[in-house]
Amino acid sequence: MLWVRMQTPAAVIFDCDGVLIDSEILTLEIEVELLAACGLVYAPADFLHRFMGLNDAAYHAALDADCRDRTGQPLPEAVLREARGPRWAACHHRLTEVEGCAAAVAVLTLPKAVASSSGAAFLRENLRLTGLLPAFDPHVYSADLVARAKPHPDIFLHAAAALTADPARCLAIEDSVNGVTAARAAGMTVWGFTGGGHMSDASADRLVSAGAHRVLGHWDEAAALFADFS
């Protein structure tokens, strides 16, 4: 596939989970096991394709619909509460940046922000744990701040407004179909990213099908492109 070289954007807006920090693989490991225990069995690839990029409310609603369809009962509230402790523990002990992320972000001289579906407290803490928070603070934006989460464009539009950047001149970097859809709906150029530990061979094709203009497999590729923006 041939990628069209883009003009220097006004700002770059990053998703967080699976793009900046390697958290999606931890969530996948913990939540697929807990959900299987209550009758919701998902192949890892299917789980990621359906739910990655959703905020907590949308994710919980989708799981509840699946549970009612498969078991005739609502999703037990305790299931998702039980996942919080292991997720926090896994992040505190095992979370890392996605390889090469900090070095690539350091190359970028343009205004930048994080636009994530994660809750605000979880988002900021995970960026702090991986040492990435100072690179973006105060421009760290959670879907808690907007009426509609991804795949709606609201969080990307919010981030662009905070940076006083025209959305049409912003570059978004995303690892999920929901995220790519949201950024495209905001009118942004989107680069898909497949460098997280949760991604598979099929991930790039899914991101392109969702509308990504380019797909990067490692932060080293992004660093070289960011250098051209300087």
pLDDT per residue over 60-92, tens digit each? Answer: 888 889 889 988 888 887 777 766 777 767 667
CB 176 within 8 A of CB 28: no
In a domain, 3, yes or no: no
Token duo for residue 88? 């926090």
Same domain, 77 and 158: no
pLDDT per residue over 126-154, tens digit each? Answer: 999 999 999 999 999 999 999 998 999 99
Degrees (nearest 5) of the Cα angle 187, 138, 133?
A: 100
Same domain, 132 and 54: no
CATH number, position 150: 3.40.50.1000
Same domain, 196 and 99: yes
Model confidence at 164, pLDDT cuts 50, 70, 90, reads very high
Beta bridge partners of residue 189, listed in sequence order = 171
The number of C-alpha atoms within 13 Å of 43 and in the hemisphere containing its C-beta is: 4
Q: How many structural domains comprise the chain? A: 2
Residue that is last in its domain, among 74, 94, 114:
94
Q: Say if residue 94's pLDDT is above 90.
A: no
| Mean pLDDT of the chain, nearest integer | 88
CB 145 within 8 A of CB 155: yes
Domain hosting residue 217, numbered range: 11-23+95-229
Give the global pTM.
0.82
Same domain, 225 and 115: yes
In a domain, 139, yes or no: yes
